[in-house]
Amino acid sequence: MINSSLKNLSQMLTKKEISSVEMTQTFLDRINKYNPTINAYIALDTNKTLAQAKAADVRIANGTAEPLTGIPFAQKDIFCAKGWQTTCGSKMLANFVAPYDAHVITQFDNAGAVNLGKTNMDEFAMGSSNETSYFGGVKNPWDFDRVPGGSSGGSAAAVAARLCAAATGTDTGGSIRQPASLCGFTGLKPTYGLVSRYGMIAFASSLDQAGPMAKSAEDCALMMNVMTGFDERDSTSLNRPKEDYTRGLSNMQGAQPLKGLRIGLPKEYFADGLDANVAKVVQDAIAEYRKLGAETVDISLPNSQLSIPVYYVLAPAEASSNLSRYDGVRYGHRAAEYDDLMDMYMKSRAEGFGAEVKRRILIGTYVLSAGYYDAYYLKAQQIRRLIADDFTQAFKQCDVIMGPTAPSTAFKAGEKADDPVAMYLQDVYTIATNLAGLPGMSIPAGFSNGLPVGLQLMGNYFDEARMLDVAHAYQQVTDWHTLIPNLDKPNLVLPEGKV
Write out the catalytic residue numbers: 76, 151, 175
Given a contact cutoff of 8 angstroms between Cβ atoms, the answer to whether 403 and 394 are in contact is no
Rounded to 10°, the helix 217-227/464-477 angle is 150
- The set of residues, in sequence order, having a beta carbon less than 8 Å from that of 125 and lying 6+ positions away, is 78, 88, 89, 151, 152, 170, 172, 175, 201, 203, 208
Reduced 3-state DSSP string for 111-141: CCCEEEEEECCCHHHCCCCCCCCCCCCCCEC
Give the CA dihedral 272, 278, 281, 285, nearest 10 degrees. -70
Beta strands in 77-227 (DSSP E): 114-119, 166-170, 186-189, 210-214
As a whole number of angstroms, the distance between CA 275 and CA 375 comes to 34
| Dihedral sign (CA 460, 461, 462, 468) | positive
Question: Which of 466, 64, 494, 22 has the alpha carbon at shortest distance from 263?
Answer: 466
DSSP one-letter code for 419: -
- H or E element in which residue 13 lies: helix 6-14
In the three-class reduction of DSSP (H, G, I as helix; E, B as strand; rest coil), residue 170 is classed as strand
Going across the sheet that includes 210-214, the strands are 41-43, 114-119, 72-76, 166-170, 210-214, 186-189, 440-448, 451-458, 400-404, 262-266, 295-299
- The set of residues, in sequence order, having a beta carbon less than 8 Å from that of 173 and lying 6+ positions away, is 207, 311, 315, 427, 430, 431, 434
As a whole number of angstroms, the distance between CA 493 and CA 243 comes to 41
Cα-flanking dihedrals φ and ψ of residue 15, to 5°? -85, 5
Given a contact cutoff of 8 angstroms between Cβ atoms, the answer to whether 429 and 342 are in contact is no
As a whole number of angstroms, the distance between CA 74 and CA 347 comes to 34
- The set of residues, in sequence order, having a beta carbon less than 8 Å from that of 282 and lying 6+ positions away, is 270, 402, 403, 404, 445, 453, 455
Given a contact cutoff of 8 angstroms between Cβ atoms, the answer to whether 192 and 168 are in contact is no
- The set of residues, in sequence order, having a beta carbon less than 8 Å from that of 479 and lying 6+ positions away, is none
Cβ burial of 90 (10 Å; 0-12, 13-18, 19+) is buried
